[in-house]
Amino acid sequence: MRRRILPLLAMFPFLLQAGGFQVNLQGNKQTGMGHLGTSFYLGASSTYFNPAMMGLGEQKFNLELGASGIIGTVAYQNQQTGITETTDNPVGTPGYLYATYKINDKLAAGLGIYTPFGNAVNWGEDWSGQNLIQDISLLSVFIQPTLSYKLNDKLSVGAGLTYVVGVVDINRAVPAPIGNDNSVNLSGDATGMGFNAGLHYQATEKLSIGFSYRSQVDIELDEGEANFSVADALETSFPDQGFTSELPLPSTTTLGIAYKVSEKLLVSVEASMVDWDAYESLDFDFDNNTASLDDSENPRNYESQIIIRAGAQYMVNEKLTVRGGAYYDPSPIQDDFFNPETPNTDNLGLTTGLSYNVSEKFVVDASFLYIYGFERESEYEPEGFGGKYKARSYIPGIGLNYKF
């Protein structure tokens, strides 16, 4: 029984990082361009994308806020029976808030608060994989104070700290010889610390290069609670209790290049290395071990991946700017460790967006992201649970900008 229960928490770091669909939604302008933004300035959201650029705007104060709606499903097909089951996920609504202030011509300060992956996955109580996962909901908040400094007319640097708080709630069935409705709820709060840093180099009037690094964050779940709802005869085997764990969020290194083709047209490409190799195993320490529930090590063996992005923006006139982009995001999960707790496939993202200047100080952004998850046939080898998976997501977004 132990091996069936403990892997349940393994999705926590992955969902905190990628929402189960490898979605990044930290700025509507950037989302509209394929999530580009490391090598060219797009406002206060540079606090996240490349802190070196925070002071490149003309205005002294810049404020951005926005949100997106994640409408997504994952389908699973059992290759033995041919039966297909799908998730019934609630709409996720991650948001962001950024503020930057130019202290002088060289120094700028910024603050970012964002919920990058507050999503949910719901397979239902009675689906065929209920012993692995029924549903999960997650809220994570990243708080990021940052500074940037302009060394000269071409080179700028920036860095800051990241404080992460998260809340997770998970339900799954508990297979047992007694009772048909045995289940467990696992919940808890988690915290972690990391940092981000960036460089921006204006090589020529038209060509710019950006580099950013977001460090690994080790999320510490210190006061998790495991609450079991089981038949009376099983209560001594599955007592309610606490647990602790440390969960790694991998580092991300991004290199981007932007080229201003004309006064109206800008194009850009980026590559991001996500160091998923850091996620080798997930270990749990329960407060009260029993024969059915003991401390455990759970191998994950994720593989590092490179995300490729390309996009462009075109200034139609003084008020309207339009954007488009695409990216390819391969899954870090090996076939033998693919689990419906984290149903992540190789993803192709197609994006579009626009900005409208209501006035010199006020701008409205909009974006739309479609994610096509390529079908894959995989198995979670520790449990012998496998089949075909595919995913689709539709994500509209809206943002507001105020500057003076």
Would the pLDDT of 3 be above 50?
Answer: no
User: What percent of the chain is modeled with pLDDT above 90?
Assistant: 51
d(CA 73, CA 318): 39
Would the pLDDT of 22 be above 70?
Answer: no
Would the pLDDT of 315 be above 80?
Answer: yes
* Cβ atoms of 48 and 98 closer than 8 Å: yes
Confidence of residue 9 (pLDDT cuts 50, 70, 90): very low
Would the pLDDT of 7 be above 80?
Answer: no
89-110: pLDDT as tens digits? 888 888 999 999 999 999 999 9
- pLDDT (mean) for 113-125: 80
Q: What is the pTM of this model?
A: 0.88
- Name the least confident of 8-12, 89-93, 95-99, 386-390: 8-12
Would the pLDDT of 136 be above 70?
Answer: yes
d(CA 394, CA 31): 13
Instruction: Provide the domain count of the chain.
Output: 1
More confident residue, 266 or 344: 266
Would the pLDDT of 308 be above 90?
Answer: yes
- pLDDT (mean) for 14-29: 61
Mean pLDDT of the chain: 87
Handedness of CA 217, 44, 29, 326 (dihedral sign): negative
* Secondary structure (DSSP) of 96-127: EEEEEEESSSSEEEEEEEE-TT--EEE--SSS
- pLDDT (mean) for 192-205: 96
- Name the least confident of 18-27, 209-218, 347-356, 388-397: 18-27
In this prediction, residue 281 carries a pLDDT of 75
The CATH number linked to 280 is 2.40.160.60
* Domain housing 166: 2-403
Would the pLDDT of 13 be above 60?
Answer: no
User: What percent of the chain is modeled with pLDDT above 70?
Assistant: 91
More confident residue, 235 or 326: 326
Would the pLDDT of 12 be above 50?
Answer: no
- Name the least confident of 146-155, 178-187, 279-288, 368-377: 279-288
